[in-house]
Structure 1
Amino acid sequence: MSDSSSQSPPDVSAGKDRRPLIAFTWVWVGAPLAYGLYELIRKATQLFTG
């Protein structure tokens, strides 16, 4: 019987660092989301405050 717990997952052993891609993806999605929430709050305050 072989011990498979000592082997690393394929993504880790490949040596590719995906952190820059993940950060770029969060910015790509997060920036429009933040702008949309900003506009929603701005217009909601205009609606309810007159």
Structure 2
Amino acid sequence: MSTPEITGAAAWGPMQWVGAVLAWIWVGVPFAYGLYQLVLKIPALFG
């Protein structure tokens, strides 16, 4: 019994990894900044 190849699951090249990392940074940095700003404003809601 042989293992079938999974189509579309080929190994990524270096440029694909760079693109994926940049995409996560593009989304992650603004999200983290917004979350940080939200946490800073929480005390004002109760004070």
Task: Give TM class, smaller chain.
Answer: 0.5 to 0.7
Could you tell me which runs of 5 or more consecutive residues in structure 1 were left unpaired when the two chains were aligned. none
Equivalent pairs counted in the alignment come to 45
Q: Map 1:1-50 to 2 at 5 A.
A: 5=4, 7=5, 9-10=7-8, 12=10, 16-17=13-14, 18-48=16-46, 50=47
Return structure 1 stretches of 4+ with deviation > 4 angstroms: none
CA RMSD of aligned residues (A): 2.4
Could you tell me which runs of 5 or more consecutive residues in structure 2 were left unpaired when the two chains were aligned. none
Instruction: Name which one, 1 or 2, has greater alpha-carbon Rg.
Output: 1
Q: TM-score by structure 2 length?
A: 0.66
